Amino acid sequence: MHRLWTIPELTSAICDNLSEDIGSLASLATTCRLISSLSQCVLWRYVDRRSFAVLVDLSDPASRHFPCSIAQRKKRFDALSHHVHTIDLCDHPIGGLNPLHDSTYNRLCYAWSSRDTPLSPLFPSLRHLSVLAGTTRDLEAAQLLFHKDLHTFSLELNPLETWHGDEDIMTSASQVFESAFISLLGRLSQGSDTLTSLTLLLDTFISNALSPALSSLLSGFPNLQKFEADRGMFTEPVLRHVGNLKNLRHVWYQCAYADSTPPGMSLTLTPTTPWFSSLRSVRLDHGFQDALSVLKLISGPLEHLYLGFALDDLVDPDVRQISRDASSFAATLREFELDATYAAQENPDHYPTWDSFASLYACRWLETLSLHLIGPAGRSTILGDSDIRPIAENWPRLKRFKLLWHPRADRFHFISTEGPRNFSLYGLLHLYALCPHLHTVTLSAVVVPAALPKPPTFDRGTICEQSGGRRALYLDMERLKWKDDSALPQLAAYLGGSAGLPPLTLRPHRPVDGILQDHWFASYSPADLRKKLEKVNAMASAVAWFARLRVSQKTLTFPAA
């Protein structure tokens, strides 16, 4: 039986199935002498909250899970701790809702104090650490686990101790939690030359006492490449430090509120030297004005830009401003994503249309365009067949095109379950034909008319040879509508390659979580949509097979008798 432990994949599967049984994990920890070294590495390389509790329990002299001597337990702990590469404590706080009933932290402190070398880390091979801090013990545990050889560190504050009790108790608990957090910041401020990814999600847990520590924290990580934060770190001093990091490649600012700027703070930065000189990717899930202010600070060769304004009501001038600011990175921009909500406008001239994104045509190197738009019912971004050729001419390298539109619900407009008015199926095939690199199109809804026109015919050479041979084409959708099944054969002819295109495969696109599930997706059924698409794909495959058969028969030659 012990030979099965020599298979790393089997070891990993067993560990996943037993992750909720602390007794079984304890047995694995004590019988690791029967497991190969490679399987031990797979088994304990990734440590979650349950397996972390087993490891620290292994070092506790009073533990009842390990019926062996203290010296043997310490020897096993030292051996297993060298295999730990990742500790993820984000699934649940270490202390839980009531930390008095959990001795994990006390055992961790005992393991820390019983180290043979006081200056050595508890887990020497640890490179990735993620902590969801709900109690002061969580912060203190993160302080014990952090060391200078980490590559990734993620901290999210969720102070459970300040949720319950009277005002005096909550104030006292908040002060204790803040004191523990400042102590952790002091540990982080010692710096690390190997840390390349830092995540600090502090939410609203910010006070005047924390501002100086936060602003100078980033100076200790000269090789930082990825920085993720929320509005707690969206301050002028922090941006100044982040903007001057020479190796920074990726920045993500996220916020769950439209009014994201802290009170009394406005971004009026005018740097004298270029900021974000090496930035490649930026994700600003923030307020509209704040995001535009940050874009003006970027001087690096930006390749990926994501802007999230789901809680801002945008009008046509706002969308045009976004397009103009994005086009300032036209020389390098490869991917552009926008998540926006349109305001309910009575004046149709103020409502954004496809022409509002015309400035993006300057981005000749664009490969991915993703638009997720929420607007009033009955109005949508109209993308007609006449827009197909400008798209193909201005974005010759386009590979992925996504346009999702969902209705917004408010008291002035009724909910409409009709999808947006996009280009027809003829225009869709035309888009695939004119864009030699395009392989995936994602739409909210695809409507099949009762009578389809004759399938278009394109030059197969201009479609396949320009893209380096055959390519797989995909059409992802949230809804597929047709009047009756009589349109299926014609639809299969459209998709089966008879128009000169490679076969087109339909796939269901899962809707975004939390967006009007009870309205737009009230009748959404992934199983029903999958059955529809499987039916169409099967017919299209048959059409494509017969089309290839006809071509092979025309070119087939027989030797002379």
Residue 263 scores a pLDDT above 50: no
SS3 content of the chain, % helix, strand, coil (to 5): 40, 20, 40
C-alpha 350: how far from its chain's center?
32
Dump strand ranges (E) for 27-186: 46-47, 86-89, 128-133, 152-157
User: Backbone phi, then psi, for 416, in 5-degree steps?
Assistant: -115, 130
Contact 56, 107 (CB under 8 A): yes
**pLDDT value for 416:** 41
3-class secondary structure for 145-207?
A: HCCCCCCEEEEEECCHHHCCCCHHHHHHHHHHHHHHHHHHHHHHCCCCCCCCEEEEECCCCCC
Which residue has better confidence, 472 or 410?
472
Q: What's the whole-number mean pLDDT along residues 194-221?
A: 76
**pLDDT value for 237:** 80
Q: What's the whole-number mean pLDDT along residues 29-46?
A: 64
The residue count for the chain? 561
Taking Cα atoms as reference points, which of 134, 44, 41, 149 lies closest to residue 92?
134
CA separation for the pair 241, 247 (Å, rounded):
12
**pLDDT value for 270:** 66
Contact 446, 409 (CB under 8 A): no
* Contacts with 79 (C-beta within 8 Å, 6 or more apart), sequence order: 32
Residue 32's pLDDT band, with cuts at 50, 70 and 90, is: low
**pLDDT value for 463:** 47
- Helix or strand run (H / E) with residue 440: strand 440-448
- Percentage of residues in the chain having pLDDT higher than 70: 67
- Percentage of residues in the chain having pLDDT higher than 90: 19
**pLDDT value for 528:** 74
- The phi-psi region of residue 352 (left if phi > 0; otherwise alpha if psi is between -120 and 50; otherwise beta) is beta
**pLDDT value for 461:** 47
**pLDDT value for 282:** 94
Token readout for 46 is 């990734």
**pLDDT value for 156:** 87
**pLDDT value for 439:** 92
Residue 78's pLDDT band, with cuts at 50, 70 and 90, is: confident
* Contacts with 246 (C-beta within 8 Å, 6 or more apart), sequence order: 222, 277, 278
Residue 494's pLDDT band, with cuts at 50, 70 and 90, is: confident
Of the ranges 81-95, 152-166, 331-345, 348-362, which one carries the lowest mean pLDDT score?
152-166
Q: What's the whole-number mean pLDDT along residues 279-302?
A: 88
DSSP class of residue 480 equals: E
pLDDT (tens digit per residue) in 359-399: 999 999 999 999 988 877 555 557 778 888 999 999 999 99
CB neighbour burial string for 163-188, b if at least 16 within 10 angstroms, e if fewer: eeeeeeeeeebeebbbebbeebbeeb
**pLDDT value for 336:** 97
Residue 234 scores a pLDDT above 90: no
**pLDDT value for 192:** 84
Q: What's the whole-number mean pLDDT along residues 344-372?
A: 85
Model's pTM, two decimal places?
A: 0.81
Residue extents of the structural domains in the chain: 1-84
**pLDDT value for 275:** 87
Q: What's the whole-number mean pLDDT along residues 145-155?
A: 92
